[in-house]
Amino acid sequence: MEKHTESAKRNSFSSSMGFILAAAGSAVGLGNIWRFPYLAAKNGGGTFLAVYIVLALTFGFTLLVTEVAIGRKTKQSCLTAYGKLNKKSGWIGVFASIVPFMILPYYCIIGGWVLKYFTAFATGGGVQAAEDGYFTGFITSHISPIAFDIIFLAATAFIIYKGVNKGIEAISKVLMPLLLVAIIGISIFSLTLKGADGRTGIEGFKIFVIPNISGMNAKGFFTVVLDAMGQLFYSISVAMGIMVTYGSYFKDEDNLMRSVNQIEIFDTVVAFLAGVMIIPAVYAFLGDEGLQNAGPGLMFVALPKVFAAMGPIGNVIGAAFFLMVLFAALTSSMSILEAIVSGLIDHFGWSRAKAVVIESAVALGLGILICLGYNAFYFELKLPNGSVGQILDIFDYISNNILMPVVAISTCILIGWIVKPGTIVDEATKNGERFGRKHLYIVMVKFIEPVLLLLLLVGSLGLL
């Protein structure tokens, strides 16, 4: 079997800014937009926000530095990087590679849903899109979801086919600034809203940022910590091979620590702005009840009703919102595909074109199967975490709730106890950079992080 043939002529990001925008683009995805606001509203607003920020600076920082440093040190994607770091740890790379392989098909389906709603609002059909049953009618139809999935997957595949510089970096430099401007603009607009019942966007903003600990006991606070950790976990794109892969394209002479700090800040700011954008608007028009929606229910049912309630301008705001979400989904889906493609190139010595075509074909096949899970193959399965799901939810549960914690725990044990934290510290400071949270990093990776991740895994398995 031909291996590692591409590493000698491996591409790299042309600048640290290119890396930061690409990595931040991967981190800023649907999780920030449809899960963060709901969890904040559910977990005491500002209380959740404070816990999330503390975890981002400790828990998130540790995983992010570790994965980027592993990638740069080995100059390999996740499939082969772990084995190069330690011969007996290659299986971690295999598990880490299964995660994006499972996520890509359904992520592109949801990207297709976003494209459908953008099309609806952009063509003046926002009122129809807000009607009860519109979303269910769309996802249970046989042809339409597959058609939109194909368009979104094709766009993702084309970007990855173009490569690291002309594809990932070039598109990130355009989409990320546009995404940020759109999020800031919609956030400001959201604060000015006033619903029919007199509720205002500012009141909704206060729910989001002011800590509410009334009735919260130790168990309740523990739930907040676990929710914030779960959100942060896949918000920053760790334990799914992406940051190892992007790290392998990061130049040796660039400042790794500064770049990681900037990704942390970017991701946390966008997660916060997602809350500012969504919670005030939903509260103003739908009240406390509207804030109880998460995931597809928030984005494809509650928010279209908010836009419809705005009158004629709702179509414009709705189109702008779904275009912004489309950008966020695309910058994440391309990083998911790149993690798989890079692994195929490194391990099998395939050309980029061959890897993209084969993986896209597999993702499309699985995507069609998942789409049919809402009609021809419909069933309901109770998952260990208490939720009831279809095929898409099963893919999501296995990848996010089981494989990702297992990969992250294994990574912490590998770095903390086998190859030692100094391996990462040395890689991150090899140009004389300062490792600002060095002692915190060592304590986190060896002791705290594995315990927190184990609790997260146990909770996901329904054992807590």
Q: Which of 29, 116, 10, 106 is nearest to 395 (CA)?
A: 106
Kindly state whether residue 411 falls inside one of the protein's structural domains: no
For the ranges 82-91, 177-186, 215-224, 329-338, the lowest mean pLDDT is seen at 215-224
Residue 2 in this model has a pLDDT that exceeds 70: no
List, in sequence order, every residue forming a beta bridge with 211; answer none if it has no partner: 45
Residue 429 in this model has a pLDDT that exceeds 50: yes
Which CATH number covers residue 111?
1.10.4160.10
Q: What is the pLDDT of residues 10-37, one digit of tens each?
A: 889 999 999 999 999 998 898 888 889 9
Kindly state whether residue 14 falls inside one of the protein's structural domains: yes
- Mean confidence (pLDDT) of the chain: 94
Kindly state whether residue 231 falls inside one of the protein's structural domains: yes
**DSSP assignment of 391-459:** HHHHHHIIIIIIIHHHHHHHHHHIIIIIS-THHHHHHHTTTS---TTHHHHHHIIIIIHHHHHHHHHHH
Q: Residue 40 sits in which domain range?
A: 7-380
Q: What are the φ and ψ backbone dihedral angles of 388, each rounded to 5 degrees? A: -110, 130
Kindly state whether residue 426 falls inside one of the protein's structural domains: no
Q: Which of 193, 192, 186 is nearest to 284 (CA)?
A: 193
Kindly state whether residue 433 falls inside one of the protein's structural domains: no
Question: Looking at residue 9, what is its pLDDT?
Answer: 63
Kindly state whether residue 349 falls inside one of the protein's structural domains: yes
Question: Looking at residue 6, what is its pLDDT?
Answer: 41
pLDDT band for position 419 (cuts 50, 70, 90)? very high
Q: How many CA atoms lie within 13 A of 289 on its CB side?
A: 6
Kindly state whether residue 220 falls inside one of the protein's structural domains: yes
Considering its fold, how many domains does the chain have in total?
1
Q: Which of 399, 414, 347, 370 is nearest to 240 (CA)?
A: 399
C-alpha 205/C-alpha 196 separation (Å) is 17
Kindly state whether residue 244 falls inside one of the protein's structural domains: yes
pTM of the model: 0.95
C-alpha 409/C-alpha 102 separation (Å) is 19
Determine the residue type at 62: T
pLDDT (average), residues 135-149: 97
Residue 223 in this model has a pLDDT that exceeds 80: yes
